[in-house]
Structure 1
């Protein structure tokens, strides 16, 4: 099961890198194209989903449940969490 967690973390790392690149490009170019803005939003949503999935897996492990039962939740669900 640790391999699955590592895969999620690797995905997070790649997405964070892409997000950083897009934000730097936005600063250098004084904005992003429509497609770049859409991609940035998609990356942000996917990051939220990955973090949520990792939290679910860790919670299930902590409480003796099968982390393999954790599922990616819909974007509108993870995007509307209250801190």
Structure 2
């Protein structure tokens, strides 16, 4: 996946998150439905940002960014800040 594709996926996920919040405010879905989907979107966003950081780091040290690979949610979500 190229940087532009990752950024496109991030934009789609953010747009979906905004749409879900609007649907919740409009009474079109329950808070449980919204929370479940938002959790998935947040995990997906974290994985996208992680992959993008991996690609940029590889590029910065002269390595091929195409060897960066998405990491599992369990790994990405357990990073220490």
In the superposition, the TM-score normalised over structure 2's length comes to: 0.84
Contact 2:24 2:30 survives alignment (8 Å): yes
Distance 1:36 1:20 in 2: 11
Residue in 1 that maps onto 2:33: 35
SS at match of 1:64: coil
Residue in 2 that maps onto 1:58: 56
Structure 2 unaligned regions, length at least 5: none
Distance 2:68 2:25 in 1: 37
CA apart distance, 1:5: 0.4
Distance 2:77 2:24 in 1: 23
Count, aligned residues: 80
Structure 1 unaligned regions, length at least 5: none
Residue in 1 that maps onto 2:78: 80
